Chain A
């Protein structure tokens, strides 16, 4: 049971390039999330999904896209990278239902846009 796995761990992008951050979980969780963490800040929600085929915007969705074709996978796409997207990205998941259920986080992906 690996939990939430993110790849890549580190990436440097040039302005205008595109890339996909991969996220997969093996806990059969229905809810999945993408957060970004900027220095000295808390986590900001980018997108979330409550199940396969269902996605919705969070607080800071601009410049990103997601898809959820399977329960396990929730990739995050950056189409035209900008320096403002330099951040640490965390994928997370939790079992469906229950407002108090614990969210499980991946190890993070460090992205630098130059």
Chain B
């Protein structure tokens, strides 16, 4: 079965420290990978995506993600986090050659940044 896993329900990091939010996937074909962020009582906002090319993708607000095909992972990273980065982060994947509907979301990782 095709799936996306975010193994950490919550990640706690001190402000100024580096961040990694994990995402692994299991899909057929070459995947298209996305990260979205959701602030309280808001919709999901696009952060970044990997389609092809360089495995390190840079996105909004200083976030980046690294695609690792052998480990089927697409971890979200940021070198130095801010309190304002506290939010819910979703990894999503669209399997290669999939239909319009086939976008799979992970269960989300809540990021809490302490001052």
Binding site for B on A (CB under 8 A): 4, 31, 33, 35, 40-43, 45, 48, 50, 56, 58, 90, 92, 99-100, 102-108
Contact = CB atoms under 8 A, between A and B. Distances in A.
Nearest to A56: B101
Interface string B22-60: 000000000010101000011111100101000000000
A108 B101 CA distance: 19
Nearest to B88: A37
Given A40-B9, A48-B100, A99-B98, A90 B51 contact: no
Nearest to A105: B43
16 contacts: A33-B101, A40-B9, A42-B4, A42-B90, A42-B106, A50-B100, A99-B98, A100-B32, A100-B49, A100-B51, A102-B34, A103-B103, A105-B43, A105-B44, A105-B45, A107-B43
B96 interface: yes
Given A58-B101, A100-B49, A103-B46, A42 B94 contact: no
B63 to A, nearest CB: 15
A40 B107 contact: yes
Given A41-B107, A48-B100, 8 more contacts: A31-B100, A40-B9, A41-B108, A99-B98, A100-B49, A105-B36, A108-B42, A108-B43
Interface of B: 4, 9, 32, 34, 36, 41-46, 49, 51, 90, 94, 96, 98, 100-101, 103-108
Contact of A102 (B4, B49, B96, B100): B49
Contacts, number: 55
Nearest to B50: A100
A92 to B, nearest CB: 8
Contacts of B49: 100, 102
